[in-house]
C-alpha cells in the first residue's frame, strides 16, 4: 500500500532516504530549514555503493602510514586515540584499509547533484524545532517519518557523546584518487585524501588550524557512539550518522537502512 512519508532534512542522508522511499513506490515530502545552505554544505566525499543511481565508479588507493609493525588491535586503538583522543574508541576502518590496497568508490558530489535533480522539487522549507510537537503534527499528516536531522538539534538535553575536530578542504587534480591514514602522533592529520577533485586533510582532537592557509578550514562534529541511543518509534526511523547518532552509518547505509525498514513495515502490515 502506498504511504505518505515525510523526510526530515535535505542533506545527503535525507536525499538518499527520499531516494529509497521513492524506490519503494511511496509518496515523499522533504522538509529542511534552509535547503540552499544544506545543499551547498554537503560534506560527503565518496560513497561505497552507487545506490542504484548509475554513478561512475572511482578506483581509490588506500595506504596506512606509521604503523607497519602494529597489530590490528593496536593499530585501531592508536587511530582511535588520534581521532577522538581516546584509545578505547577503536577505529577498525583503518585495519580494513591496511588489508585492502585499492577499493571502488563513487563520487558523492555527483550523487548529491543527481538526487537533487530527481527529488529537489519535493523539498519544502520548514524547520523541525520541537520533536514532541512536530512528531505529533507530522504523524497526523504522514504515515511514516524518516529523520536525518542531527540528534543534538532534536534532543538538546540528550547525552550524546561527541568531539570536535577540524578539516581542511582544497582542490586536487581530478586524476588523483587516494586516501592516506597516519597514526604517528607527530603528524597532525589522521586522514588525507584526494577524491574526484577534492583534497581533504582531517585533523584529530585538540588540533588548532594554522592560518593563513591554502586550505579552507571548517570545524566538524565527530560522533563517538556506534549504537544509536535514541528511543524507537513505530512509525519513525532515525538514520544517518547524525540523525541516528551512530558513527557506523555512512551515507550509502542510509539508502539500504530505509529500504530494509520499509520492507519490514510491509511485512508486518501483511502479516
pLDDT tens digits, 10-31: 999 999 999 999 999 999 999 9
Q: Strands of 198-203's sheet, edge to edge?
A: 46-47, 102-107, 57-65, 178-182, 189-195, 198-203, 162-171, 216-223
* Model confidence band, residue 266 (pLDDT cutoffs 50, 70, 90): confident
Please list, in sequence order, all residues whose beta carbon lies within 8 angstroms of the beta carbon of residue 241, skipping any fewer than 6 positions away. 13, 223, 247, 249, 250
pLDDT band at 133 (very low <50, low <70, confident <90, very high): very high
According to the model, what pLDDT value does residue 211 have? Answer: 85
Are 3 and 26 in contact, with CB atoms under 8 Å apart? yes
pLDDT recorded at residue 271: 56
Write down the pLDDT at residue 270: 64
Q: Which of 12-16, 124-128, 132-136, 211-215 has the lowest mean pLDDT?
A: 211-215
Nine-digit cell at 4?
505518505
Q: Which one is predicted more confidently, 174 or 50?
A: 50
Q: What is the pLDDT of residue 263?
A: 94
Query: b or e along 45-58 (b: 16 or more beta carbons within 10 Å of the residue's beta carbon)?
Result: bbbebbbebebeeb
Averaged confidence pLDDT in the chain: 92
Residue 42 has a pLDDT of 62
What separation in angstroms does the CA of 58 have from each of 21, 48, 172? 26, 10, 15
The answer on pLDDT for 88 being more than 80 is no
Q: Estimate the share of the chain in helix, then strand, then coil, as percent rounded to the nearest 5.
A: 30, 30, 40
Q: What is the pTM of this model?
A: 0.92
Widest pairwise Cα distance in the chain: 62
**Within 10 Å of residue 221's Cβ, how many Cβ atoms?**
14
In terms of Cα–Cα distance, which of 165, 140, 164 is closest to 152?
A: 164
Q: What is the mean pLDDT of residues 216-222?
A: 91
Cα separation, 182 vs 128, in Å, equals: 39
pLDDT of residue 129: 87
Nearest to 230 by CA among 139, 145, 147: 147
Rounded Cα–Cα distance for residues 116 and 111 (Å): 9
Domain coordinates in residue numbering, the chain: 4-270
Q: What distance, in Å, lies between the first and last C-alpha atoms of the chain?
A: 13
Strand 123-125 with 162-171, pairing: unpaired
Beta strands 27-32 and 123-125, pairing class: parallel
Which homologous superfamily does the CATH classification assign to the domain defined by 4-270?
FAD/NAD(P)-binding domain (3.50.50.60)
Asked whether the predicted pLDDT for residue 246 surpasses 80, the reply is yes
Nearest to 193 by CA among 54, 43, 41: 43
Amino acid at each position: 500500500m502506498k504511504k505518505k512519508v515525510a523526510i526530515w532534512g535535505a542533506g545527503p542522508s535525507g536525499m538518499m532516504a527520499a531516494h529509497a522511499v521513492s524506490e519503494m513506490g511511496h509518496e515523499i515530502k522533504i522538509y529542511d530549514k534552509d535547503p540552499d545552505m544544506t545543499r551547498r554544505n554537503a560534506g560527503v566525499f565518496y560513497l561505497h555503493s552507487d545506490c542504484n543511481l548509475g554513478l561512475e565508479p572511482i578506483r581509490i588507493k588506500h595506504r596506512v602510514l606509521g604503523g607497519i609493525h602494529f597489530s590490528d588491535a593496536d593499530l585501531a586503538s592508536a587511530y582511535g586515540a588520534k581521532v577522538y583522543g581516546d584509545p578505547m574508541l577503536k577505529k577498525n576502518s583503518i585495519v580494513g584499509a591496511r588489508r585492502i590496497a585499492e577499493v571502488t568508490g563513487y563520487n558523492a558530489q555527483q550523487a548529491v547533484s543527481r538526487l537533487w535533480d530527481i527529488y529537489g522539487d519535493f523539498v519544502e522549507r520548514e524547520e523541525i524545532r520541537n520533536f514532541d510537537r512536530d512528531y505529533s503534527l507530522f504523524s497526523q499528516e504522514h504515515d511514516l517519518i524518516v529523520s536525518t536531522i542531527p540528534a543534538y538539534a532534536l534532543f538538546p538535553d540528550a547525552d550524546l557523546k561527541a568531539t570536535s575536530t577540524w578539516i581542511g578542504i582544497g582542490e586536487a587534480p581530478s586524476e588523483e584518487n587516494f586516501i592516506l591514514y597516519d597514526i604517528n602522533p607527530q603528524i597532525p592529520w589522521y586522514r588525507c585524501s584526494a577524491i574526484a577533485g577534492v583534497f581533504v586533510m582531517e585533523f584529530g582532537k585538540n588540533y588548532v588550524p594554522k592560518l593563513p592557509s591554502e586550505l579552507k578550514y571548517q570545524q566538524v562534529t565527530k560522533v563517538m557512539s556506534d549504537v544509536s541511543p535514541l528511543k524507537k518509534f513505530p512509525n519513525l526511523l532515525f538514520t544517518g550518522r547524525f540523525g541516528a547518532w551512530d558513527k557506523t552509518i555512512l551515507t550509502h547505509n542510509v539508502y539500504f537502512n530505509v529500504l530494509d525498514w520499509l520492507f519490514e513495515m510491509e511485512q508486518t502490515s501483511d502479516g
